[in-house]
Chains A and B, each alone.
Chain A
C-alpha cells in the first residue's frame, strides 16, 4: 500500500548549509497494519511523516527516493492530485490538537468544511455526519460541542475532535505523529484505545510515530527504530521487545522507567546527547554513544542484516 524507497529529505539552512533529516529510509506498510516509528526527538520521525504528506516546510525538500502509494509515486503528483489524496487516502494527526484547530472557527464549522471538501453533501447531511462522528469518538453532548470553539475544550477532548475530523473521511492510512505526547497518562490510554478501536472498525493502517517505547509496544504489530534520520532496526513488536538486536534499541528499552524493582533491568537513561544533525558522526552514526562498539564502527557505515525476522543496521551482525 505505502512503500518508501531510500527517502532522503534535506533542510536548507541559512548560510548554504544543509541538514539531512531523513537519510535513506525505506519501509513498507501493508493494509491493516499498525506500524510504530520510534526514536528520540530529533531523529527525523516527523519529517518522514511530513514528506509522505507532501507538507514539508519551504526550506525543506525530498532530495531523492520514492514514496509509492498503490504503486504511484507521490513525489510526482501535482498539488491538486495530492490534495485529493490528503485526508481522503492518507490522513495525519498532530501532537498538539489545540494548535491543529483554527481558534477562530467553531468545531462544527471546521468539521463541515472538511466533509464538504471531499464529499458532495449539503450542510444538513454534513452536520449529521459530523455529529455522528463526535458521538463515535465519545464526545459527550455532541450538539453543544459542535457550536463551541477549540479553546472551550480540554486537550484530550480536542484530540478526540481531531480524530473525528480526520477519520470522518475514512482514510486508508492514518499517520499519527505523537498523538498522545501532550496528554495526561490516563487520557493517553483512552485516546490510544479509541484509535485502536476505530482502526479495526475502519480497517485502516496506522503509522504511529512516538518517542515512547511503551506506547509503541502496546499498539503496534511492527516497530521501526529511527536514529539520526536512519532506520536502525525493524521487526515484529514482540521480537524487538523480547530480544532487541541493535545497541540503540537496547538502550531505548533500558531507558523505559520500570516501577517494579523485581524486574530484571533497571531504569537507565540513554547515555550521551544526540549529536547535532549538522555534524553527523562518521561510519555508524550511533558509535559515539554505543556500548558495544567494534573497531570498524567509526569508519564504515553498517549494511542492513536480516537477523531472526528483523532487519538490523549494525556491524555486530555482519
Chain B
C-alpha cells in the first residue's frame, strides 16, 4: 500500500520538473550571460551553448536531463563545475535542520496556545493571542526576515549575519558547535515561526471551539471527567487531525518560504543554493534543487497522511 503511494509520486515529480524546466528556459537570459569578459566573441558563446547542449530544443534538453537522472547523474554546476549531487548532499543537512526544527517548534507552540485560547474564548489571553496572530499573519516573511537581520545582526550585532556555524569551531567540542549552530539558526527560525504559527494558531483555536461543542465533550463532562482531561486528551487529539492535514498541505509553503529565508540569512541550505542558481542561470543546480525539494515535500505529505491515519482510526491508507 505504502509502496503504491510512493509509486504515485513519480508522475508528480515528472510534472513538477517538466514545468520548472520549461519556465526556467522561458525566462530571459542564459548561462553565457556570466561571461562578462569583453574579449569573448559571439561565436565562442555560441560554441559554449552548443557544448552545454543549450542550442537544442527545450524538450530534447529535458529528455536528456531525464535520461541522465535515470542514471543517477544530476549533471555538473555551470559555475563551479562540481557534481550537482555532491552540492545538494552537502546542503541537505542545513535545510533539514532548519525545516524540521521549525516544524517541531510550530507544533509545540500551536497546540498550547490554540487550545487555551479556544477554551478561554474571548478572555484576555484569547484576545492577546488573536492580536499577535493577526500581526504575525500580516507581516510578509521576507520583510520580517530582512528587518530582523537589519536590527539584531547588523545594528546590534547580537546574531551572525550568515552561515550555519562559526568556521573557527571546526575542532571545538560538540557542545560549543551546537551552541554556535543554534546561535546562527535563531533568526531564520524565528522568522519562519512567526510567519507559520500565526495562521495555524487561529485555525487551531477555531477547531477547538468547534470540538468543545461536540456531544462527546458534553458526555465526558456528564461522566465527571476533568476539564484538563477533556481539553488535553479528548479535544487535543481531535484538533490534531486538521492541523496535520494543513501542515501536510502547507509543507510546500513552509519549504518554499524557507528558500527565501535561507537566502536572506545566507543559511547554507538547498534553498540558498537554488536561489543563487536562479541568479546565475545555473540550470543543472537549479533543476537538482527543485527535484530534491519536491521529493522532500512529497515525503512530508506522505508522513502527514501516515500520521493522520495513526490519529484517526476511521481513516486507513489505501
Contacts and interface: CB of A to CB of B under 8 A. Distances in A.
Interface of A: 53, 55, 57, 79, 83-88, 91-92, 94, 96, 99-106, 113-114, 117-118, 149, 151, 162, 165-166, 169
Given A104-B313, A113-B229, A99 B221 contact: no
A83 B222 contact: no
Contacts of A113: 225, 229, 233
Contacts of B82: none
A6 B103 CA distance: 55
Contact of A166 (B223, B226, B241): B223
Interface string B37-53: 00000000000000000
Interface in B260-318: 311-314
B226 A102 contact: no
A251 B223 CA distance: 37
A83 B229 CA distance: 13
B221 A103 contact: no
A131 B75 CA distance: 64
Interface residues of B, number: 24
Given A84-B224, A87-B224, A151-B314, A101 B238 contact: no
A102 B224 contact: no
A43 B218 CA distance: 21
Nearest to A103: B314
B234 A105 contact: yes
Contact of B222 (A79, A91, A102, A151): A91
A149 B314 contact: yes
A79 B225 CA distance: 12
A86 B226 CA distance: 11
Contacts of B170: none
B215 A114 contact: no
Contact of A100 (B213, B216, B237, B312): B216
Contact of A117 (B216, B226, B312): B226
B228 to A, nearest CB: 11
B313 A151 contact: yes
